[in-house]
Amino acid sequence: MIRIECPIPSVINPAADSADAQSVAWMRHFDLCANEVERERLSKSACGQLAARLAPGCSGPMLQIVSDFFIWNVAFDDEYCDEGPLSRQPGELARTLSLIHRSIEVPESELYAQDRYARAMLDIRRRLDERAAPAQICQWLAAMRGWFLAETWKAGNIAAGRIPSLDDYATLRLYSGGALAFPPLVTIAEGYVVSPDLLENRHVKALTEIAVSLATWMSDIVSYHKEIAREDGGHNLISVIQHENACSADRAVAEATAMCEQMMRLFLCARDDLVPAAPAELCRYLQTLGHYIRASYDWCTASERYAYGNGADMSIAIGSEPSAFPLREASSIRSIAWWWAPGQQRRSSTGTSAISR
């Protein structure tokens, strides 16, 4: 049992069950997943529950977009990026992903219609256009582009039999799996806009990366047994730590958990530092990032997606008991060390935040 302290409150949109059922029907309509066995498995993953925790304050139709995007994400990740033949063919995967991305850059035409995932994502893009500001669509498209690029990197690693270093993995995991696409998607769904200047502020940028990494690292810990049974390549946080440190899985889990705890403390400190002087839209965005972290924890605990083999042993307990294994400082990872840069999470000497109203 993994114990991580997560003092962020758990909230959920009341339309969760409805969104989940409709997303399963939507997934079947577009014939996503490799086969019926995988579709049945995905139908039990409670993707609508995660969407409802990510976007607890949006209307039913907008929640449905988030839920459909997430079920697309999981199906696509499994069939194209993790387990299918394209996961070991970086050139073919790059071509496929480039065409899918082009299809959502040009929603006026139905490009690459022979691909099920392109057709389904085009449906999401057209629904987003009914609500989103152009700048929000640009942010979402940029996140999608980063996601697709990272997946070709991962496929190249697998083709070469290369397990990334923890430093490389921290960067790869920030983009892979589409994690950075969710914050702009939720701002669209919940009907608020954060200016690009605020989003690109280094304090806000750090908080976004911390929240995304916490969500993905925790899913890596919980999914470890499923991934080593079903996938090739060692692209899981636990496998990467095992390889780098030549250690057991138990020790790698302890190290990963300790680093997550350090990241959680930094997120809470940096967020609380910004809130007093932050404009309303930024406060709303910081709340969204908190929901993102908690949603991942809650979903990883409850979803049947990770109930594979003895995967139940990797479940998360939310509580206040600290880890007994403070093995490594996350700040020692070069690619994310800037989160802990002097002044990054502290107020200035004047007592005011770097973000002003």
Task: Give the integer Cα–Cα distance in Å for 66 and 185.
Answer: 7
Q: Check if the beta carbon of residue 287 is closer than 8 Å to that of residue 280.
A: no
Residues 6+ apart with CB under 8 A from 150: 172, 174, 175, 176
Would you state the pLDDT for residue 230? Answer: 60
Note whether residue 271 is domain-resident: yes
Would you state the pLDDT for residue 82? Answer: 87
Structural domain containing residue 8: 2-340
Note whether residue 352 is domain-resident: no
* Cα atoms found within 13 Å of the Cα of residue 252, Cβ hemisphere only: 22
Q: What is the CATH number of the domain that holds 239?
A: 1.10.600.10
Would you state the pLDDT for residue 342? Answer: 63
Would you state the pLDDT for residue 6? Answer: 82
Q: Which of 297, 167, 289, 312 shows the shortest CA–CA distance to 237? A: 167
Strand-pairing partners, residue 324, are none
Would you state the pLDDT for residue 131? Answer: 93
Would you state the pLDDT for residue 191? Answer: 96
Would you state the pLDDT for residue 232? Answer: 60
Note whether residue 331 is domain-resident: yes
Phi, psi of 318 (to 5 degrees): -90, 120
Note whether residue 103 is domain-resident: yes
Q: Check if the beta carbon of residue 53 is closer than 8 Å to that of residue 11.
A: yes
Note whether residue 80 is domain-resident: yes
Note whether residue 116 is domain-resident: yes
| Tally of structural domains, the chain | 1
User: What is the residue-wise DSSP string for 80-104?
Assistant: IIISSGGGG-HHHHHHHHHHHHHHH
3-state secondary structure 224-251: HHHHHHHCCCCCCHHHHHHHHHCCCHHH
Note whether residue 354 is domain-resident: no
pLDDT digit string (tens) for the chain, length 357 residues: 556 678 899 999 999 999 999 999 999 999 999 999 999 999 999 999 999 999 999 999 999 999 999 999 999 999 999 888 999 999 999 999 999 999 999 999 999 999 999 999 999 999 999 999 999 999 999 999 999 999 999 999 999 999 999 999 999 999 999 999 999 999 999 999 999 999 999 999 999 999 999 999 998 988 787 667 665 657 899 999 999 999 998 899 999 999 999 999 999 999 999 999 999 999 999 999 999 999 998 888 765 665 554 444 444 444 434 444 446 789 999 999 999 986 554 433 333 344 543
Task: Give the integer Cα–Cα distance in Å for 171 and 153.
Answer: 11
Note whether residue 8 is domain-resident: yes
Task: Give the integer Cα–Cα distance in Å for 53 and 241.
Answer: 30
Model confidence over 271-314: pLDDT tens digits?
Answer: 999 999 999 999 999 999 999 999 998 888 765 665 554 444 44
Would you state the pLDDT for residue 2? Answer: 57
